[in-house]
Structure 1
Amino acid sequence: MIRVAACQYAIELHETWEAYADHLQGLCAEAVEAGARLLLLPEYAGLVLSGQLTPEQRGDLKASIAGIQPLIEPWKALCAGLAKRWGIYLQPGTLPVLDSDGAYRNRAWLFGPKGALGHQDKLMMTRFEREQWGIAAGHGLTVFDTDLGRLGILVCYDNEFPLLARRLAERGADLILAPSCTDTEAGYHRVRIGAQARALENQLAVLQSPTVGLAPWSPALDENLGRAGLFVPPDRGMPGDGVMALSESLDPQCSRWLVCDLDLEAVRRVRQQGQVFTRRNWPEQFERL
């Protein structure tokens, strides 16, 4: 049994590094005090660093991501320090990173008690990212071996594509982390429905963390709606609707953690003793086409 925490992360303006660092440390401390060993923040949570730029720069869509690049290494060091200090696994959301080929990619790092375990880039770009923002797609999928189990990360829109989660399942993932950022109720439900479908198809767990609230100072994060949730396959020993836990509101006024216990061994048992074997039967569908 592991205790996990997914944040409904309210986008707030932190105009100095000290204010932001205190904010992130205090936020993570809340989940740690509740006993969580795995903490998940949402897609583009790291873009809150743009609050430290001038109002003109943070108010410009492309200038804001260029401006935060010098802050990324200190941010990574801060996240690594928090994970080491408390002996936890921390996925602090994502942020746009300037890659060696000159393209920006939406990147999610995973930090553990011994440092960074690596990163996962978003693979499928939304229209906003592709057409207006100029964020490029990443390549490849990573499975992270941790003391808690084998984890994968699918960033927001990636959860709407079955073959991505299937590849993680084939590589032994028991839990997928789904950091998300959506500005409409429809967008939130697209990602949530995708997350639940991926849990059903692959008989694994999916943990979703969304952005919430209004940030008129940021053209990228101006409107945010979503609910944190933990989803599992609806089968023996699991909730009938596959919803292990769900936060109460689409738009709370402040950041809130959804803290819940997850028995990955019980999830694995579904794959051996469940009413159906969707994970095992996956290849058969192609024989029927």
Structure 2
Amino acid sequence: MKIATSAYPVDWHASWADYEEKLELWVAMAAQQGAELLVFPEYAGMEASLIGEPHDAAQPDGWALSAVAAMADGINVHARLAADYGVHILAGSGPTRDFDSGKIVNRATFLSPDGRRGFQDKQILTPWERRETPLSPGRGLSAFDTDLGRISILICYDSEFPLLARALPCDVLLIPSCTDGPAGYTRVRVAGRARALEGQCVAVQSATVGATPLCPYLDENSGAGGIFGPPDSGFGTSGILADGRLDQPGWTYAEIEVDELPDYRGAAQVSVSEHWDEQLDCIQNINHRPLAVMKS
């Protein structure tokens, strides 16, 4: 399977047709390179609400409500492109009204070329999201069995919490991110690499780049696409399968053999996933002792 992960600039558009044209150019570019799985970043879905002359909104609640009104139409564009180009797409996430709870969540939608859909909501909000936005945490995690293997999603900050990934055994872990500086990007990158090591899976980071004037969710963006495996047998000494250039818009590609992942896991020098529960015994026996002079 060939994966394409994006460093994606979110733009204002003069018309809806311009927005659709941009998305199609991006999807076509990846599909022409043979990509079967395309990954857009966190909050990129808000681009569907950036139509017309750049304007301010009641910040940031107004922006969330504008995104809620536009997200469904934006997802439908991604769904059409998935079908037209025969690819699986993780559409950019954005504020979405949860039908059951009525709350606004940060939702990423996963689309297959045959029209099937699934979604994952962000579980743990950042301090800024808690302080400044009307977003609520999502409820529950999902793993999707697809023609490409088992795929799970952790949105940005969620990837920094290893128990979430532990609950989602998968072949490919998608990590759409939106960070405003190199430090934030690096935190998510480090988290993605750690999750690949722990889960013996492939972790895929996408990122927003550039600046989107007047929109507080996207006013500053820094990052790059990256595709990571465990630094072990079958993945090379670094585990870095592909690395995009920081703040350079475009796709980053890597080929992986999902069918061979069980063999890679069996041949691995270490198996954090298999030995995970041994930690529980270790932490039950924490001893606090003063330093003492030991006889030689």
- CA distance in structure 2 between the aligned counterparts of 1:240 and 1:97, rounded to whole angstroms: 40
- Tell me the equivalent position of 2:72: 73
Measured in 2, the distance between the counterparts of 1:108 and 1:46 equals 8
Q: How does the TM-score come out when normalised to structure 1?
A: 0.93
How many percent identity over aligned positions?
39
Q: What is the total number of aligned residue pairs between the two structures?
A: 282
Secondary structure of the structure 2 residue equivalent to 1:279: helix
CA distance in 2, matches of 1:154, 1:70: 24
Q: Please report how far the alpha carbon of residue 287 of structure 1 lies from its aligned counterpart in structure 2 after TM superposition.
A: 1.8
Task: Provide the residue aligned with 2:292 in structure 1.
Answer: none
* AA aligned opposite 1:145: D
Q: Contact 1:109–1:116 (CA<8 Å) still a contact in 2?
A: no
Q: Distance in 2 between matches of 1:50 and 1:72?
A: 8
Could you tell me which runs of 5 or more consecutive residues in structure 1 were left unpaired when the two chains were aligned. Answer: none
**TM alignment of 1:175-194, pairs within 5 A:** 175-194=172-191
1:17 Cα offset (Å): 0.9
Match of 1:234 among 231, 236, 241: 231
Q: CA deviation at 1:51?
A: 1.3
**What is the identity, as a one-letter code, of the residue corresponding to 1:251?**
D
- Higher CA-based Rg: 2
For the pair 1:113 / 2:116, whether they are aligned, the reply is no
Give the structure with the larger strand fraction.
Answer: 1
Q: Give the conservation status (yes or no) of the 8 Å contact 1:182–1:225.
A: yes
SS at match of 1:60: coil
- 1:57 CA drift (Å): 4.5
Aligned to 2:158: 158
Match of 1:50 in 2: 49
Structure 1 residues 161-172: aligned runs within 5 Å: 161-169=161-169
Match of 2:266 in 1: 272
SS at match of 2:145: strand
Are the equivalent residues in 1 in contact too, given 2:13–2:52 (CA < 8 A)? no
Structure 2 residue corresponding to 1:251, chosen from 229, 236, 247: 247
Task: Note if contact 1:235-1:275 (Cα within 8 Å) is conserved in structure 2.
Answer: yes
Q: Trace 1:95-106 onto structure 2 (pairs within 5 A).
A: 95-100=94-99, 101-106=101-106
Structure 2 unpaired stretches of 5+: 284-296
Match of 1:122 in 2: 122
Distance verdict in 2 for CA 1:127–1:15, change over 3 Å: farther
Pair 1:210-2:204 in alignment: no
Equivalent pair of 2:49/2:70 in contact (CA under 8 Å): no
Query: Post-superposition shift, 1:12?
Result: 1.7
CA RMSD of aligned residues (A): 1.5
Counterpart of 1:43, as a letter, is: E
Give the conservation status (yes or no) of the 8 Å contact 1:59–1:218.
Answer: no
Larger relative helix fraction: 1
Aligned AA (1:155): I
CA distance in 1, matches of 2:95, 2:192: 23
TM-score by length of 2: 0.91
Q: CA-to-partner distance for each residue in 1:47-79, whole Å, 9 max, x for gaps? A: 112211664444732112212333222222211
Please say if residues 231 and 239 of structure 2, whose CA atoms lie closer than 8 Å, have aligned partners that are also in contact. Answer: yes
Matched with 1:87 is 86
User: Contact 2:56 / 2:214 at 8 angstroms: preserved in 1?
Assistant: no
> Which residue number corresponds to residue 277 of structure 2?
283
Q: Distance in 1 between matches of 2:94 and 2:25?
A: 20
For the 8 Å contact 2:162–2:195, the answer to whether it is kept is yes
In 1, Cα distance between equivalents of 2:69 and 2:140: 26
Name whichever of 118-127 and 64-73 sits farther off: 64-73
